[in-house]
Amino acid sequence: MAQQDKAPDGAVPEELLALRASIDNLDAVIIHTLAERFKLTRRVGVLKAEQALPPSDPGREQRQVERLHRLADEAGLDPAFAEKFLAFVIREVIQHHEEIAREAAGGG
């Protein structure tokens, strides 16, 4: 722990420890939730490859951006941040779908 996180008496404030523990728990939830999301999008990628559908769906992506903007606004989160986060996730999903499609076509 950094020196500046300690009170003048050398102790770390209990509230700080409690807040950090809550943050750590939420980080775990985020990671596990992302893992579940990617399991589902992998299944989507397999279905798309089987049906010879393109890896990306710009119309759905735009609807998701609009949906996330609303959700972020309702939750008190910066919608621009939510959009950046979703864009990162979508890029990863599309990359996975492209890899799945290559594998299905025998190129991977």
Q: Check which CATH number belongs to the domain holding 83 and give it.
A: 1.20.59.10
Q: What is the pLDDT of residue 1?
A: 44
What does the alpha-carbon distance between residue 29 and residue 68 come to, in Å, rounded to a whole number? Answer: 18
| 2 inside domain | no
pLDDT by residue (tens digit) across 26-73? Answer: 999 999 999 999 999 999 999 999 999 999 999 999 999 999 999 999
| 5 inside domain | no
pTM of the complete model beyond 0.75? yes
> Which residues form the domain of 56?
12-104
Sequence-distant (6+) residues with CB within 8 A of 64 are 86, 90
| 42 inside domain | yes
| 7 inside domain | no
Number of domains the chain is built from: 1
Q: What is the pLDDT of residue 108?
A: 59
- The secondary structure of residue 3, as a DSSP letter, is G
| 6 inside domain | no
40: left (phi over 0), alpha (psi -120 to 50) or beta: alpha
| 97 inside domain | yes
Closest listed residue to residue 40, CA positions, set 81, 101, 93: 93
pLDDT by residue (tens digit) across 67-102? Answer: 999 999 999 999 999 999 999 999 999 999 999 999
| 16 inside domain | yes
| 1 inside domain | no
